[in-house]
Structure 1
Amino acid sequence: MFGSTYGNTLKISTWGESHGKALGVVVDGCPAGLSLCEEDIQVFLDRRKPGQSAFTTQRNEGDLVEILSGVFEGKTTGTPISMIVRNKEQRSKDYSEIANYYRPGHADYTFDEKFGFRDYRGGGRSSGRETIGRVAAGAIASKILNQLGISITTYSKSIGNVEIDYNKLDKDNILKDTLYMPDKEASAKAQELLKEKIADTDSVGGIIECVVKNMPAGVGEPVFEKLDANLAKAVMSIGAVKGVEIGDGFAVASACGSENNDNFKIENDRIVKSTNHAGGILGGISDGSDIVLRAAVKPTPSIAKTQSTVNKSNEEIEISIHGRHDPIIVPRAVVVVESMVALTLVDMLFMSITSKMDDIIDFFKK
């Protein structure tokens, strides 16, 4: 299958299906000497695993990772790092009835059209469980960024029509919160909204916001390998994401140039911007200010509310989908967005090492 590999210098290849024996990822291009153990990966996987609250699927998976290669005596060897997470609690019979019809909002129809065949058990490769490999790889990329002093903060900005108040933003609340919101009051309102939607056999979507601090200026390319273009591709490749914006995003369409332009100034003998409407990227290249990215996540398509569709006999039917599904995708997708951003940043940082002859001379001529 084409399209299961991402990256240029730091490459990942994810594999496996929702109801297969296991899922995993191969990471190639990670430098030797990075301290790495399974606990480093598990911290990230625990943020996306099911069964964390009433607002996530109750599929009872521990999602325990095993590192199969590329690490020796606690450090990366520079060779491919292979990781595996075994499926323990798949219930394929829950999906047997959908084999002959197409679920609204899912990839059932398009898979059949492309391959003439589909794994109907949980969606196969289009299942959200495919993101296990992305998150495991993202944990490695995040460790690399941490050693460079680059940090990423990602959270639920909105759920349904409930949005955080930036004046009440508490970053310490993100990892403590059921919905990964940095605003406790907004989270309480969002939880009430979700209870209403669950009672109504419906679902909602939301927006995930990602802020990158201390990204150096000069990373990215000016044409086809733009930093913002690659970030958009990385995040849009997540199945539930239907839109990505950077900086002011779509708001720039109604702004004037005088409002949208970020003026430059000198601060502590450095060139900085007075504002950050561009979201940290100019001309496809990082400008040294915070990179701000937002992802629009669609409502969970698997709902028990009656929907109209067609079956393989071209008959129009009505269905109600049952089983163990997330009433909202956003909270578990927060770490997936963060992982894809981290992987892209590391890949672009590695590519930028050869941008200047002076840097090459400094590295090799010691």
Structure 2
Amino acid sequence: MEMKKVITLGLVLTLAASVVTGCGKTSSAKENEGSSSNGVIELTNVSYDPTRELYASYNELFAKHYEEEFGQKVEITQSHGGSGKQALEVANGLEADVVTLALEGDVQVVADAGLIDDGFTSEFDVDSSPYTSTIVFLVRSGNPKEIYDWDDLIRSDVGVITPNPKTSGGAMWNYLAAWYYFEQQGQSEEEILDSIKQLYANVVVLDSGARGATTSFVENKQGDVLIAWENEAFLSLQEYPGEYEIVVPSVSILCQPTVAVVDEVAKKHGTTDVATEYLSYLYSDEAQEIEAQNYYRPSTKSIYDKYVSSDSSNTITEVPADGKWINDNISLTDINHFGGWAKARADHFADGANFDSIYEQ
């Protein structure tokens, strides 16, 4: 299957937001609800860094679907940045009709501000996570530093690029995946903290978001390894053939980006119905195909299975010509292992918690 052409990573980093137009209106909505002066429904989706390409494609698909189904145009404004920072922006007044953030914990920040009703993880299928991802390594061609697993990242000769967990949801997943690896090695909590401290001592650049980290590694040539969202790593292979390789570590974490209607804002804008449809349609077969083609793991099993690779190698040197890119040869934990996001945030990412103790020393 031919993969969608992506925008150069350095260029997309400079985009503060992308706007896509289309149509839509739910049958129960009033004729003028959520509409601008020209009769077009306006919808704002605040998302995280690596979803730029995904939503550029999805917004076009949704606009077409909504006009055909409901007979009205919809215009989507897209905002991207570090997931934690984006959540705080919405909580502090950035008017998003929907959020599509990197993790449940960031959506909870918006809910705690009184903007999202309780039970948002049950509003849509699969814990309101229409697609998933995981964490992999991106290294330079030939893997000159011979980086194969998490313990290689604590060697003194390895420079690491990863974003900041204080502002980036992806960075939280990176940290927890590393923690799980060292735990699986039989280390005590004190030993794990020491290993994580060594890893972050090797961090060359601590960017605010995942796309910034990708740019630091890929375009600015900093560091020896990028701890990356799986989709970010594949975009780099696609954009720079022959220059990079993906290394799939022995263990990682199932990353579940979470979507939610920002209830109070949608009510104010009169966009509740279109916002709900926007997120529901992410589960359609057409959208699931777009998600897979943008290197996100679709939640629909039949579509997921179409993209599973038969290659058991944990080193990926190019985007597979047949489009089968999903590597299932990896042991994944999930956030439940850490007691859920509330506990994980309190234990690891809150002020004075584990991350502060290892990084600020």
The TM-score, its normalising length taken from structure 1, stands at: 0.22
Which protein has the larger Cα radius of gyration, Structure 1 or Structure 2?
1
Structure with bigger helix share is 2
The TM-score, its normalising length taken from structure 2, stands at: 0.22
